[in-house]
């Protein structure tokens, strides 16, 4: 099926990007009543989500080419274009952004009581920047959306966050800004080295950079993307940001923002810097294993539910980066499914914590116990997502993690410093660790007798609260039992990516010759 915009000349991506901003401007200029602010924001978010659905139904799964493309000259003096398009890798995250924005607005319906207009405006503008990141095909346009995202997220945490929100926002901002500056330097270096006449992303994918350039550019990209994932050891901003963020802020942070770093590796590092990606693969695999195993152990020690889930997110994203850097199609497809699944499961777990916090205004595990006695529906919902978090068969997380493990077992051992099977075994250990910290949290919070009077007074889920869990439950089960529609979206694009990432191998002698003077030389 030919993409809709090719048939009707319909700028669907532009509308999906800027409709939330138009809604934000409408709220800012014309609407004063708080109730109307909430409803207008919700209607705009729903309209944006509906607008993204044709991306699925009109998508041609048989090709790796970019679809729904748009091109306009933006800043001709600097050869910067407004260039949009999606493939099977980027398109699912645009739809996921639309869905989670709706859930964020509904979840904040009653718990946000101050500066409601500004809160809704911030979320709508954030939606614009996030969709823009996944749709941009000009690297400077990508960088614009990548950086613009910091502003609304900074405000969401800094204005509506917890008591240590200033510290958390500054840490988040400084970490991500530092990485972004290095990415900008790398993008400019690629532009001048390649002699390009534009900043088109596809041009840089086709250009063969020599290994020295790839080496240094990879390092710059690594800092930018590793901070966003986040990878160990640049992960420390995430638990603080999650702990201080309002519930909806944590939902969008875990559901979408963390995926931007992994998406950067998929869109920039592997196709543009294939030799450097293979050269640094042992390091990336090692850091991924540290995130998977060590961070899982750290999660087991947490007393705050939000911090525990935040560390859990770092461990699960370690599976994603592991799947990316073993360079097999099965593992790469599993990594993307893991990213999508984590968007469902982590978002839902933060929503569960938000439900509890709205009632008792504490996130400490020790302050609960016996919640099942007074909130049986909520206990069932939280049990479902806890099982999904430990990758129970039949859930979306199981599909992603088992594909990463299978792809790792089948990986080319030249990409690793140890046997592929030992890497897979080490990664599989985290499934046990994930069960330990997730079920321990569930037991302490939900099970047992309701001894505390504060717990005895808690009310079960309202219809509004239950409504935003329903689509996430459906999606987790659907992908868990029938992942083929998602795999069909990914297959052609991932196959092309694997070809790009592995088509320019350097022989060992040539590699040593090229890297004898580089700091990382001799790592193999």
The DSSP annotation for 370-414 comes to -GGGT-HHHHHHHHHHHHHHTT-TTSHHHHHHHHHHHHHHTS-GG
CA atoms of 151 and 298, how far apart (whole Å): 30
Strand ranges in 3-125 using DSSP code E only, listed in sequence order: 67-75, 80-86
Whether residue 415 contacts residue 281, with contact meaning beta carbons closer than 8 Å, is answered with: yes
Contacts of 108 (CB under 8 A, 6+ apart): 119, 246, 247, 248
The DSSP annotation for 78-123 comes to GTEEEEEEE-TTTHHHHHHHHHHHHHHHHHTTTT--SSHHHHHHHH
Whether residue 373 contacts residue 449, with contact meaning beta carbons closer than 8 Å, is answered with: yes
What's the pLDDT score for residue 7? 46
Domain boundaries, the chain: 12-514
Quick check: bond before 233 cis, omega within 30?
yes
b/e map 414-437, b = 16+ CB within 10 Å = ebbeeebeebbebbbebbebbbbb
CA atoms of 375 and 450, how far apart (whole Å): 11
Whether residue 1 contacts residue 87, with contact meaning beta carbons closer than 8 Å, is answered with: no
CA atoms of 324 and 318, how far apart (whole Å): 10
Strand partners, 136: 84
CA atoms of 490 and 467, how far apart (whole Å): 29
- Please tell me what DSSP assigns to residue 362: -
Cα 477 to Cα 103, 306, 345, 517: the distances in Å are: 18, 24, 11, 52
Whether residue 246 contacts residue 114, with contact meaning beta carbons closer than 8 Å, is answered with: no
The model's pTM is 0.89
Reduced to 3 states (helix: H, G, I; strand: E, B; else coil), residue 54 is: helix
Q: Alpha-carbon torsion 198, 200, 203, 204, what sign? A: positive
Strand partners, 67: 86
Reduced to 3 states (helix: H, G, I; strand: E, B; else coil), residue 363 is: coil
Tens digit of each residue's pLDDT, the chain (524 residues) = 455 555 446 789 999 999 999 999 999 988 888 889 899 999 999 999 999 999 998 888 888 898 998 988 888 888 888 999 999 999 999 999 999 999 999 988 888 778 888 999 999 999 999 999 999 999 999 999 999 998 898 888 888 877 888 888 888 888 888 888 899 999 998 888 887 788 888 888 888 888 888 999 999 999 999 988 888 888 888 888 888 888 888 899 888 888 898 999 999 989 999 989 888 888 888 898 888 888 888 888 888 898 899 888 888 888 899 989 888 899 999 999 999 999 999 999 999 999 998 888 888 888 888 889 899 999 999 999 999 999 889 999 999 989 988 888 877 666 555 667 777 778 887 788 888 889 999 999 998 887 888 888 888 888 998 999 999 999 999 999 999 999 999 999 999 998 888 876 444 334 444 444 444 443 33
Contacts of 518 (CB under 8 A, 6+ apart): 212, 215
CA atoms of 281 and 325, how far apart (whole Å): 6
**Residue 265 CA to its chain's centroid (Å):** 12
CA atoms of 260 and 133, how far apart (whole Å): 8
Cα 304 to Cα 236, 258, 298, 386, 452: the distances in Å are: 15, 20, 12, 16, 18
Q: Which of 145, 284, 126 is nearest to 201 (CA)?
A: 145
SS (H, E, C) 151-191: HHHHHHHHHHCCCCHHHHHHHHHHHHHHHHHHHHHHHHHHH
Cα 344 to Cα 386, 396, 469: the distances in Å are: 12, 9, 10
Quick check: bond before 230 cis, omega within 30?
yes
Reduced to 3 states (helix: H, G, I; strand: E, B; else coil), residue 512 is: helix
Cα 21 to Cα 48, 83, 125, 131, 507: the distances in Å are: 11, 19, 5, 12, 50
CA atoms of 93 and 469, how far apart (whole Å): 19
């Amino acid at each position: 099926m030919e993409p809709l915009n090719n048939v009707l000349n319909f700028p669907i991506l532009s509308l999906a990007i800027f409709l939330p901003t138009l809604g934000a401007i409408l709220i800012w200029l014309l609407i004063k009543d708080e109730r109307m602010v909430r409803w207008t924001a919700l209607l705009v978010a729903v309209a944006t989500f509906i607008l993204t659905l044709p991306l699925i139904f009109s998508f041609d799964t048989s090709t790796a080419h970019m679809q729904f493309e748009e091109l306009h000259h933006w800043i001709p003096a600097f050869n910067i274009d407004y260039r949009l398009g999606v493939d099977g890798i980027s398109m699912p995250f645009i739809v996921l952004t639309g869905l989670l924005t709706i859930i964020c607005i509904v979840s904040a319906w009653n718990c946000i009581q101050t500066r409601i207009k500004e809160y809704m405006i911030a979320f709508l503008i954030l939606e614009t920047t996030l969709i823009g990141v996944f749709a941009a095909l000009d690297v400077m346009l990508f960088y614009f959306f990548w950086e613009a995202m910091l502003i609304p997220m900074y405000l969401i945490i800094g204005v509506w966050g917890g008591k240590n929100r200033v510290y958390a926002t500054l840490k988040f901002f400084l970490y991500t800004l530092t990485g972004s500056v290095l990415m900008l330097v790398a993008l400019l270096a690629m532009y001048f080295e390649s002699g390009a006449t534009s900043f088109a992303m596809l041009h840089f994918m086709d250009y063969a950079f020599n290994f020295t350039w790839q080496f240094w550019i990879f390092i710059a990209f690594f800092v930018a993307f590793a901070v966003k994932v986040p990878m160990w050891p640049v992960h420390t901003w995430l638990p603080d940001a999650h702990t201080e963020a309002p519930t909806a802020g944590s939902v969008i942070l875990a559901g979408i923002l963390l995926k931007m770093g992994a998406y950067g590796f998929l869109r920039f590092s592997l196709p543009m810097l294939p030799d450097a990606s293979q050269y640094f693969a042992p390091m990336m695999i090692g850091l991924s294993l540290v995130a998977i195993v060590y961070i899982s152990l750290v999660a087991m020690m947490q007393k705050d539910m939000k911090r525990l889930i935040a560390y859990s997110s770092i461990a699960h994203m370690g599976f994603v980066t592991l799947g990316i850097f073993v360079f097999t199609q099965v593992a790469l497809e599993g990594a993307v499914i893991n990213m999508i699944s984590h968007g469902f499961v982590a978002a839902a777990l933060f929503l569960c914590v938000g439900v509890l916090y709205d009632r008792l205004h504490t996130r400490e595990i020790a302050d609960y116990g016996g919640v099942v006695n007074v909130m049986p529906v909520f206990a069932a919902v939280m049990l479902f997502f806890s099982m999904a978090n430990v990758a129970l068969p039949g859930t979306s997380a199981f599909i992603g993690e088992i594909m990463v493990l299978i792809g790792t077992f089948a990986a080319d051992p030249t990409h690793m410093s140890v046997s592929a099977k030992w890497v897979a075994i080490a990664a599989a250990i985290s499934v046990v660790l994930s069960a330990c910290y997730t079920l321990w949290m569930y037991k302490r919070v939900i099970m047992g007798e309701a001894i505390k009077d504060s717990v005895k007074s808690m009310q079960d889920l309202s219809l509004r609260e239950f409504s935003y869990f329903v689509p996430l439950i459906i999606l987790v089960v659907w992908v868990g039992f029938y992942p083929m529609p998602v795999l069909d979206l990914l297959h052609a694009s991932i196959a092309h990516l694997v070809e790009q990432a592995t088509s320019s191998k350097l022989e060992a002698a040539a590699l040593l010759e090229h890297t004898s003077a580089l700091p990382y030389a001799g790592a193999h």
